[in-house]
Amino acid sequence: MQPRGDDPLGRIDDGAVRLSDGCIVAVGRRGEIDAAGAEIIDLGGGWLTPGLIDCHTHLVFGGTRAHEHAMRRAGASYEEIAAAGGGIVSTVRATRAASEEQLLAAARRRLDALAASGATTVEVKSGYGLDADTEVKMLRVARALDGHAGVSVVPTFLALHALPPGADRAAYVEQVARETTPRIAEAGLARSVDAFCERIAFTAEEVEQVFAAAARAGLPVRLHAEQLSNSNGAAMASRFKALSADHLEHLDADGARAMAAAGTVAVLLPAAFYCLRETHLPPVALLREAGVRIAIATDCNPGTSPTLSLPLVMNMAATLFGLSPGEALAGMTVHAAAALGLDDRGRIAPGQRADLCAWDINEIDELAYWIGLPGPSRRFVAGEQR
Ligand code: NIG
Ligand code: FE
């Protein structure tokens, strides 16, 4: 393939990769790769990409919230539904009531669908427990999901998602910071700590207390920030060198600059934007200008983003947010890996894990062009076809 001079994708026409021990060892044009002694898999044309990485999901939950979808279509807002006892806390009730086995069985079916659409690595958050025991239960389910359908699961403790009904705010935040965060860190159940910084959730000051606890426990942080309003969450998260700040519809220039300086990845979630029929677009031009890496993710959750298709989200990122096809692909590969703090995947390059997808398409731009392309024709996880 002609890496076209400034082609950010580094495409190779008539390319080949050599794999060994689950890793990529050589990449180039077919004639340049030494095939001696290797089993040859002919993909028969099409395009090979890195396995897709979904860096923001709430895959483990009880129940669904299909009725809220109908309420929103009838005119109720996300905030009104939350204030009326629906929203996140209704999923909390269903998640507390479900057994670990029930949560696992339902999450496995969703993970099968994500995998079939091209995912080889998926981040999974807790956050529908709001008490330590249920948060631990959710994270144990995330751990049990790891490897299902060949997917690497990266668990995140979503520490501050909603205030439990009837709880005292200050006491709750303090308990999460002092007790739950260290408990989950010590048990090795999460790779990072997340929170929802928003006027219907928690202030930047409240989140800071939990982020300080995460830092003390040696866990990196990420944040749901600037989704419905500008709470200066992304700038605060950047002070903690957050791996990512996610949503970001209401991010301002100062926030974008703070993220760039900290190396914090912007994770855009177009399916949540679509589902909530938001109109305030994330400032993609500001992110580009500031040099912030942009990832995209499904945000699969029962309330605001019931989707299990990564290619659909690529299309939405292009159609709704104006990402180029290359930005959309980078957003679900190399930049999504960075959002998870992983540097062993997300690119087709020597030394990377051989997590790969073969797509039956003529042009790579078709990934973001079809409105929900069916999944890859073949998917390889650490070199094995799955
Ligand atoms: O990423 N914004 C907060 N959390 C989820 C929504 C969770 C829910 O409504 O259940 C999100 O969109
Ligand atoms: Fe989310």
- Convert the pLDDT of each residue in 83-121 to its tens digit: 888 899 999 999 999 999 999 999 999 999 999 999 999
Q: What are 129's two structure tokens? A: 């427990």
Going 147 to 151 to 156 to 157, the CA torsion angle's sign is negative
Q: How many other CB atoms are found less than 10 A from the CB of residue 303?
A: 25
Determine if ligand 1 sits within 6 Å of the CB of residue 273. no
Residue 341 zone, left/alpha/beta (φ > 0; ψ -120 to 50; rest): left
- Percent of the chain scoring above 70 in pLDDT: 98
C-alpha–C-alpha distance, residues 56 and 159, integer Å: 15
The average pLDDT across 120-147 equals: 98
The average pLDDT across 49-69 equals: 96
Residue at 121: amino acid letter: T
**What's the pLDDT score for residue 375?**
96
pLDDT for 5 beyond 90 = no
Are the folds of 15-49+347-385 and 52-339 the same? no
**What's the pLDDT score for residue 8?**
65
Q: Contact at 8 Å (CB) between 65 and 370?
A: no
C-alpha–C-alpha distance, residues 287 and 293, integer Å: 8
Give the ligand whose atoms come closest to the C-alpha of residue 128.
1
The average pLDDT across 119-141 equals: 98
Kindly give the distance from the C-alpha atom of residue 304 to the centroid of ligand 1, in angstroms, as a whole number.
Answer: 6
The average pLDDT across 355-382 equals: 97
pLDDT for 66 beyond 70 = yes
Determine if ligand 1 sits within 6 Å of the CB of residue 301. yes
Q: What is the mean pLDDT of the chain?
A: 95
C-alpha–C-alpha distance, residues 79 and 249, integer Å: 16
Query: Cα dist. 54→19, 43, 115 in Å?
Result: 23, 24, 10
pLDDT for 13 beyond 70 = yes
**What's the pLDDT score for residue 2?**
34
**Measuring from atom 9 of ligand 1, which residue has the nearest CA?**
303
Q: What are 67's two structure tokens? A: 């009725």
pLDDT for 3 beyond 60 = no
Domains of the chain: which residue ranges? 15-49+347-385, 52-339
pLDDT for 273 beyond 60 = yes
Task: Give pTM, 2 decimals.
Answer: 0.96
- Convert the pLDDT of each residue in 280-313 to its tens digit: 999 999 999 999 999 999 999 999 999 999 999 9
**What's the pLDDT score for residue 192?**
98
pLDDT for 187 beyond 60 = yes
**What's the pLDDT score for residue 7?**
61
Determine if ligand 1 sits within 6 Å of the CB of residue 49. no
DSSP 129-175: --SHHHHHHHHHHHHHHTTGGG-EEEEEEEEESSPPTT--HHHHHHH
Task: Grade residue 4 by pLDDT with cuts at 50, 70 and 90.
Answer: very low
C-alpha–C-alpha distance, residues 122 and 127, integer Å: 16
Task: Say which CATH superfamily domain 52-339 falls into.
Answer: Metal-dependent hydrolases (3.20.20.140)
As residues whose CB is below 5 A from the ion ligand 2, the structure lists 299
Q: Which CATH number is 15-49+347-385's, of 3.30.360.10, 2.30.40.10, 3.20.20.150, 3.40.50.720?
A: 2.30.40.10
Determine if ligand 1 sits within 6 Å of the CB of residue 126. no
**Measuring from atom 1 of ligand 1, which residue has the nearest CA?**
299
pLDDT for 319 beyond 90 = yes
First and final C-alpha spacing in the chain: 26
Residue 232 neighbours by CB under 8 Å, 6+ apart = 204, 255
Kindly give the distance from the C-alpha atom of residue 16 to the centroid of ligand 1, in angstroms, as a whole number.
Answer: 41
pLDDT for 1 beyond 60 = no
